[in-house]
Amino acid sequence: MDVSYLLKCYEAGQRDFIGIDLRGANLKGATLIGVNLTGANLTGANFSRAFLTKANLSETFLNWADLSFAKLSEGDLSNADLTKANLAGAFLVKANFVGAKLSGANLSNCNLRSANLHRANLCSAKLEGINLRNATLSRANLNWANLSGARLSGANLQGAFLNGVNLKGAYLNGLDLQGIDLSGVNLTESNLHTKTSNRGLEGLHFAPYLSAVNGGTPQISVDHLIDIDVPKMALD
C-alpha cells in the first residue's frame, strides 16, 4: 500500500490498516487520528508533525522513524519497536508505551505527562527536558539515559533501572523514592525537595554520597551533591 492510497482510504472512513508495510513512507503532517496500524512495518517512515491522536501503533516497527513534533496523545505504542526513533518535541500525553523498545531514541523536550512506560526500554535514550510528570516508569530500563532538566514530579520509578542516568537539573519533587538505588546517578543541581514530609525517602540509597562526605572513598563524584535540595533526614 502506498501513501496516497492510504490517505484516500482514510478520508473515505477506513481506520484499520493492520500489518501494512510503509517502510520509509513520507507522512509528514498527515492527519491519521484514531488510525489502527497494529503490527505495521513503519521503519524509517516520516511522521513529523503528523496528527495521530488515539492512534493504535502497538507492536509496530518504528525504528529510525521520524515522529518529531507529532501529536500522539492517548496513542497506543505498547510493545512497539522505536529503537533510534526521533520523537523530539512530540506530544505524547497519556500515551501507552508499555513494553516499548526506545533504546537510543530521541525524546528530548517531549510531553509524556501521565504516560505509561512500564517495562519500556529507554537505555541510552535522549530525554533532555522531557515532561514525565505523573508518568509510570515502573521497571523501565533507563540505564545511561540522559534526563537532564527532565520534569519527573509525581512519576512512578519503582523498580526502574537507573544505572548511569544523568538527572542533572531534573525536577524530582514529590517522587516516592523509597527503596530506589541512586548509586551512579548524576544528581547535580537536581531538586529532590518533597512536600510530603519526607514520606517515601526512608529507603533511599545515598551511601555513595555519604561515604564521600564522611571522608571515605566516593563511588561517584562528590560534585554530584552540589546544589541538591535533599531533606536532612535523607542524610541522617
CATH at residue 117: 2.160.20.80
At residue 193, the pLDDT reads 61
**Domain annotation covers residue 193:** no
Is the distance from CB of 121 to CB of 103 less than 8 angstroms?
yes
- 186 found inside a domain: no
Indicate whether 183 belongs to any domain: no
Residue written as cell 484516500? Answer: 8
Q: Report the amino acid identity of residue 77.
A: L
pLDDT digits (tens, 9 = 90+) for 15-49: 999 999 999 999 999 999 999 999 999 999 999 99
Closest residue by Cα to residue 148 from 179, 93, 109, 175: 109
In a domain, 219, yes or no: no
Residue 230 lies in a domain: no
Alpha carbons 219 and 102: distance in angstroms, whole number: 29
Tally of CA atoms within 13 A in the half-sphere of 80 that contains its CB: 30
Instruction: Name the most confidently modeled range: 174-178, 192-196, 211-215.
Output: 174-178
Answer whether residue 8 is part of any domain: yes
Say if 121 falls within a structural domain. yes
Tell me which amino acid residue 162 is. Answer: L
Q: Name every residue whose Cβ is closer than 8 Å to that of residue 236 and which is 6 or more positions away in sequence.
A: none
Q: What is the pTM of this model?
A: 0.83
pLDDT in tens, 142-175: 999 999 999 999 999 999 999 999 999 999 888 8
Burial degree of 51 (CB within 10 A; 0-12, 13-18, 19+): middle
Cell 541510552, residue located: 124
Residue 176 covered by a domain:
no
Give the domain range for residue 38.
1-171
Total of domains in the chain: 1
